[in-house]
Chain A
Amino acid sequence: MTHQLKDGSQVLQVGVLARVEGEGGMHIEIKDGVVESVKLNIFEPPRFYEAFLRGRKYTEPPDITARICGICPVAYQTASTEAIEAIAGAVTTPEIQTMRRLLYCGEWIESHALHIFMLHAPDFLGYDSVIEMAADHGPVVEMALRLKKAGNDLMELVGGRAIHPVNVKVGGFFRMPTKAQMMALRPDLERGLEEAFATIKLVSTFDFPDMEQPYEYVALRHPDYYAIERGTVASSSGVEFPVSEFPKHVKEFHVEHSNALHAKFDDTMYMVGPLARYTLNFHQLSDRCKEAALAAGLGETCRNQFKSIIVRAVELAYAFEEAVRIIDEWKDGAAPSVPVAATKGEGMGASEAPRGILFHRYITDENGIIEDAQIVPPTSQNQPSIELDLKTAAQQWVDMDDHALTHRCEHAIRNYDPCISCATHFLDLRVNRS
């Protein structure tokens, strides 16, 4: 919708954003050719799940929080299990950590494939949706569906279900998949690996608006590999600390125009997600991924959010590589879980959801009953930078007609692959699939 105010100011408003999870809207005010304000509006009630978790058993967060988002349940399960295990001082085995990484690869593959092709590529190619895009680029969309299915299949094998995995528990898994079961997926994963590298080349040919932002980047970092399922917290300003210090550095705050909390890192606006991970941990990608990224025109750092589609493609390829590697190295016989006793205390965990760091904190009593819960999702952390991107984009392209400018601003939001359901911790209960 476009409204013209009586005083000559122009207001661009998109009531409900398409192609983002949940429900949100943006509001941009332009006066005399100058962008005066930008607000990303989130309508859904916040903090539902944090309240819902209080009074629940310490074993329940992986199942409960997995329902917050249909696209990143593994992120929630992993961060919550890490946090609960930290309370009990439980140490999982390398095999359990490896299986968590494999499950997480499935989620990255599914989420990145969906976003790259179904949601983001139409923006670059000038289509309103993937349906129009499919009419002209059928083989590309079919490849996208194969890639996404490979991720779904991996999640279904390791997690028991593709959308809300049921095989994850505090301490590990209910059962481990066998090597033979995993090897059955290998041909599709190998094919996906090659198609993911083809995807890097494909998306590198898109036209990218020239817009770089100097945000503080924050991502997990692990000494041994490109962090996905665990790590310490690192920033582009050189700060690095354990996840248990996350609350000291990250402060959430409420803004009037949104139900989702915003956040600052050491009093600074910051950004989480693929660009932060890539920039902070580029050296830990495989040689093939690094070569493909550089050939695609990325440097070792990336500050243009519009190029996040290339970075996601690099991470897609990396997730396929990791999945194949883990399956090849797997040996059957490992215990699926370690015991985790009910313990009084406070614990924190974090993992790299496809769209950035997801942080969980729990306080339990001596019976393991949850007294307090805090969940800081990536979209909540990214809201200030999304708004500043929008302001920059709107000002940069203020001379465009309303339709083109609105589309460019929507594109700027989708650069972040925002998950509004996560940001508000509220599952949309008004589903209509008809």
Chain B
Amino acid sequence: MSAEAAPRSGPLVVGLGSPDQGDDAVGPAVAHAVAALGLPGVETAIHEDPTALLHLWEGFDFVVVVDAVMSGKPAGSISVMEVGAGRPSLPPESWAATGRGGTHAFGLATSIELARVLRTLPRRVTIVGIEASSFEQGTGLTAPVTASSDDAVAIICAMARECVGSAT
């Protein structure tokens, strides 16, 4: 986000993940579902590469990133985390050895913290993480993750309505 540009008010919903690797597709699936609702002021994007966030969210004040996560919770569990500018930095262990987190260790946490240092992190960044159980290539979402997708869409829509409502 350039310092001169006025931030775009509507939230950007980014579905992160590969659409054809099991539960990794949940980010794109949820973003597609949000897009299909046609909520006013809400923009959506889908990408596989976490580094793309550094360009995708330029100019946005509020960004929701939907992604598959593995934290040990039951499959389908939804976690919501606020990580935007002004929030505390993510702990170094979340990005210092993120070899599993994306191409050549450049995962979501690395993108967020790099943007924070470069002062390009949007004011509000909300991560909606959906606990995955399988990343098998060529397969679809597992049943628990499919069941949670609608809940994730509902959570994001509520956030979006709140954001758009407060802006009007």
Contact = CB atoms under 8 A, between A and B. Distances in A.
B102 A70 contact: yes
B43 interface: no
Contact of B129 (A22, A148, A152, A434): A434
B142 to A, nearest CB: 13
Interface string B93-116: 011111111111111111001100
A23 interface: yes
B102 A20 contact: no
Contact of A431 (B20, B79, B118, B135): B135
A191 B47 CA distance: 24
A135 B119 CA distance: 10
A326 interface: no
- Contact residues of B: prevailing secondary structure: mixed
A18 interface: yes
B108 A19 contact: no
Given A20-B99, A67-B137, A152-B49, A134 B114 contact: yes
Contact of A148 (B24, B51, B69, B94): B51
Given A138-B117, A432-B71, A433-B67, A131 B49 contact: no
Contacts of A164: 18, 20, 48
Nearest to B137: A67
Interface residues of A, number: 42
A18 B114 contact: no
Interface in B6-43: 16, 18, 20-21, 24
A133 to B, nearest CB: 9
B145 interface: no
Contacts of A118: 104, 106
A429 B100 CA distance: 9
Contact of A119 (B24, B100, B105): B105
B47 A162 contact: yes
A129 B89 CA distance: 15
A431 B104 CA distance: 12
B64 interface: no
B159 interface: no
Nearest to A146: B55
Contacts of B155: none
B143 interface: no
Contacts of A23: 99-100
- Contact residues of A: prevailing secondary structure: loop
Contacts of A142: 118
A182 interface: no
Nearest to B116: A131
A71 B103 CA distance: 6
A161 interface: yes
A375 to B, nearest CB: 15
Nearest to B48: A163
B67 A114 contact: no
Pick the 6 closest A-B CB pairs, nearest first: A163-B48, A434-B69, A70-B103, A433-B108, A134-B117, A18-B97
Interface in B38-95: 47-52, 54-55, 67-71, 79, 81, 94-95
B70 A430 contact: yes
Interface in A142-157: 142, 145, 148-149, 152
B55 A145 contact: yes
B114 A433 contact: no
Interface in A140-188: 141-142, 145, 148-149, 152, 161-164
B127 interface: yes
A134 B112 CA distance: 13
Contact of A163 (B18, B98, B113): B18
B149 to A, nearest CB: 17
24 contacts: A16-B99, A18-B99, A18-B105, A19-B104, A20-B99, A22-B99, A23-B99, A70-B49, A118-B104, A131-B117, A134-B118, A138-B118, A152-B49, A163-B49, A164-B48, A419-B104, A427-B21, A428-B99, A432-B100, A433-B50, A433-B102, A433-B109, A434-B70, A434-B109
A134 B115 CA distance: 9
A411 to B, nearest CB: 15
A361 interface: no
A212 interface: no
Contacts of B70: 430-432, 434
